[in-house]
Structure 1
Amino acid sequence: MGAAARLARAGNRLISFIALLLIALMFVYGAYSLWDTWAVYRGAFVSNDLLQFKPSGDSTEAGNPTLAELQQINPDVRAWLTVDGTHIDYPVVQGETDMEYVNKDVYGDFALSGAIFMASQNSPDFSDPYTLVYGHHMDNGAMFGDVVEFTDRTYFEEHTAGTLYLPDSTYSITLFACVEADAYDQQIYNISAVNGEGTGALLDYIEEQAAQYRDIGMTEDDRIIGLSTCAEAETNGRVIVFGRLDPMNEIQEGGA
C-alpha cells in the first residue's frame, strides 16, 4: 500500500506539473498573440521614416522631389494619398497584379497590413478617367480603415477633401459619394470597361447606389478616383469612397 500511495502521489505531481506547463504555454502563446496583433496594427500606420518622403504640400513646378526619392527605393511607388481629417496618409504603389501588395508594404517587405495600392489595370500617372485604389480595412483606422466611416452621414459631411501627390504634379480630391457594394460589382470593379466606355454609366450608378452623396457637378470629363476597402460585416462586402481629381495649378489659375 505504501508503494502504491507513493506511486499515486508521484503521478499526481506529474499531472500537476504537466497542467502547469500547459497553462504557462497557453499564457505565453496568448501574450505573443496580443503582441503580434499590436505589432500588425501599429505597423499599419505610416512610420516616421516613411513620413520623410511625404510631399510638403506646396504645389510648384518643381513637383514633389521627396516622392521621387521614394521611387528610387521602390519604383512601384506612384503617388502619396492624403484624405483630410482621417488616418489616410500613405504612399500609393502599383503591382503587376492586384495581389502583389496585399501582404507587402511600400518597401516590398512582408506585412499583413499590406500597402495602399492602385489597380494594376490603371495608368500609373492617374491619367485614366477612372482610377481605383485599394487598402486593407484595419479596425484601428489605419490603412483604409477610415473609409467605412464615410457611410455615416455626419462623418461624410465633415470630410470632403484630400490631396494626391504625384512626382511631377499635385491634385486636389473633392469627395462626392460613398457606396456599399459587392466585391464582384462589375459597375465599380471592371475598371478597363469603365475607362473604355466612358464614366457616364458609372456616375449614374454611383448616384443611384450611394449610401452618401453630394452633388458637386460631376461630368464625364472629370477624372474619378475610388478608394476601396472591405466592409466590416460581410465577407464580400466593400465600401468605396469616390472623389474628383483636379490639378492644383488649374485650380489656382482659375481662382486668380
Structure 2
Amino acid sequence: MTSENLSVGGVRFRTRADYEAALRDQKKIDEIRAQVDFNDKKQLEGLFNEMQAGVYRFETIIGTHFDDEVYEKMEQMKRNPSTRKKEKKHSLKKSGNKDQQKGKRAAASAGRQAVRTDIKNTRNNAKYQAVIEKEALKELQKAEKLRKRIMVLASIVAAASLGYFFVYYYFSTRTNMDYEQLASLKGSNVLNSGTQQEQNTFSLHKSAVRLPDILPEYETLYNKNKKLIGWLKIDDTNIDYPVMQTSDNTYYLDHNYNQEYDKNGSIFLDYNCSVYPRSTNMIVYGHHMKSGNMFGNLQKYAKESYGKKHSVITFDTIYEKAQYQVMYVFRSQVYNEDDIVFKYYQFIEANSETEFNSYMQEMSELSLYDTGVTAEFGDSLLTLSTCDSSQTDGRFVVVAKRIS
C-alpha cells in the first residue's frame, strides 16, 4: 500500500502501524456514534464524562479530534440550549399536533431531569472536591515529614562526610609530619647512646648464620622499631618512606612506623620475602591514597614519559644500598586460588632459569610499554604494588631490575 492510501478521516499517516491504529480508533468512534445521540444532552454528557474518566482510550490523533468534537458539542449546547428544542420541534411538526404536544411534554420532562442531574452533579463535585482537598492535605503533610527526614539524614551525612574529611586530613597531615621526622633520623645517633650494635644471627638449615651489620644510616630507625627492613625512595616524587616487614601482610595495612593506627598504613615488604639471603624478587606494598601519600602517585608510571623520567628507584635494605631500573609496568588483579593464571604476587623465588624466563615473559606481555630493560636469571628484582580501581581487586605494578 502506498503512502497516499494511509489516510483515515482526512489524516494521512506515515507508517502502516499508525494507520492501523487510526483504523481501530475510527471503528471505536463509529460504534460510539451508533450508540450515542449527539443531540441528547444527557447522553452527550454521559459520553463526555466516560471519556474524561478514561473509559474510552484512543491511540492516534483521530481519537483526539473526536474528543475535541464531543467537547465542542457540549459547549455549543451550553451556549445555545434552544438548538436541541428547535430541532425536535421541527421534527414534531411532521408528526401532527398530538405528537407535537407529547414531544413538548417529553422535552420539558427531559429539561427538568437535566436540571436535577446538573444539581446532583454539582453536589457530587463539591463532595469530590472536599475529598480531593483532604487527600491533598494528607499528601502535603507526608511530603513535609519526608522533607524533614531527608534534611535530618542529609545533615547526618554531611556531618559524617565532614568528620571523615577531618579524620582523613588528620591522618594525612600526621603521616607527612611523621615521615619527615623519620627521614631526619636517617644517619642520626639520637637513640644509639654510644652502644655497640648487637650481633645479628639467625638459623638457616640448622646452622647459625650471622646477619650483616646494619648500615649506620639506619641504626637509629631500627632501634626505634625493629620491624624496619629498609627505605624506599624515588627522586622527584613523594615516595620517600621506611619499609616495614612483619610476620603477615595485614598489620601494616593500617599501622604506621610508630605502630599507631593509621588509615594510610605503611610501605611494607611481603612477609614471604627475605632481604638476607636475598629473594629473587622483593615485593613491596603500599596503599593508593587519594592524598598522594604512600603509593598514591605510583600509577603515574602508566605514562611512558613519566616512567622514563623516573626510571631509577632506590631501595636500601637495612644491610645494603641498592638502585633499580624500571623494567615492566602493568595492571593485574588478585585472583582466586584455583585460577590458573600468572600471579605476580606469588613470584618471589625463581628456582631455575626456565622458571625465571617464564616469569619475565608473562610480565613483558602485560607491560603497558616497552622500557627496553630486560633481566637474566640471577638478577635481583624489586616489585612495587598498589591498588587499582579500574577493575575488581585490581592492582597496579611496577617491576624494576637491580643495577647497583
Please indicate, yes or no, whether the TM-score normalized by the shorter chain is above 0.5: yes
Q: How many residues align?
A: 227
- Give the Å deviation of 1:55: 5.4
Q: Secondary structure at the match of 2:400?
A: strand
In structure 1, what is the equivalent of residue 184 of structure 2?
52
Deviations 1:194-245 (A, max 9, x none): 4345422111111111013312242112100000000133231101101112
- Answer yes or no: is 1:68 the counterpart of 2:199: no
From the two aligned structures, give the one with the greater helix fraction: 2
1:33 aligns with 2:184: no
One-letter amino acid of the structure 1 residue matched with residue 294 of structure 2: M
Q: Which 4+ runs in 1 deviate beyond 3 A?
A: 18-31, 43-46, 194-198
Matches within 5 A, 1:140-151: 140-151=291-302
- How far the C-alpha of 1:28 sits from its partner, in A, is 4.7
Percent identity among equivalent residues? 21
2:358 to 201, 205, 213: 201
In structure 2, what is the Cα distance between the partners aligned to 1:24 and 1:125?
A: 55
Q: Distance in 1 between matches of 2:277 and 2:288?
A: 23
Following superposition of structure 1 onto structure 2, how do residues 1-256 of structure 1 map, counting pairs within 5 Å? 28-45=159-176, 47-54=179-186, 64-125=215-276, 127-184=278-335, 186-192=342-348, 194-197=349-352, 198-247=355-404
Residues 1:27 and 1:207: Cα distance change in structure 2 (over 3 Å): closer
Aligned mates of 1:73, 1:186 — CA distance in 2 = 39
Hey, what's the Cα distance between the residues in 1 that align with 2:368 and 2:150?
53
**Partner residue of 1:253?**
none
Query: Matched residues in 1 for 2:160 and 2:285: separation?
Result: 33
SS at match of 2:251: coil
Distance in 2, Cα, partners of 1:136 & 1:19:
35
Q: Which has the higher contact order (CA 8 A, sep 6+)?
A: 1
| Structure-1-length-normalised TM-score | 0.78
Structure 1: runs of 5 or more not aligned: 1-14, 57-61, 248-256
TM-score for both structures, normalised by structure 2:
0.51
Quick one: distance in 1 between partners of 2:323 and 2:235? Answer: 11
CA contact (8 A) 1:55 1:165 kept: no
The one-letter code matched in structure 2 to 1:39 is Y
Paired amino acid for 1:131: M
Secondary structure in structure 1 of the residue aligned to 2:232: strand
What does the per-residue CA deviation read over 1:165-199, in whole Å, with 9 as the maximum and x for residues that have no partner? Answer: 2233210111122111112364311135x434542
> In structure 1, the residue corresponding to 2:323 is in which secondary structure?
strand
**CA RMSD, aligned part only?**
2.8
Q: Matched residues in 2 for 1:240 and 1:129: separation?
A: 17
- CA distances 1:145-181 after superposition (whole Å, capped 9, x unpaired): 1211111122112111121222332101111221111
Q: Which amino acid aligns with 1:47?
A: Y
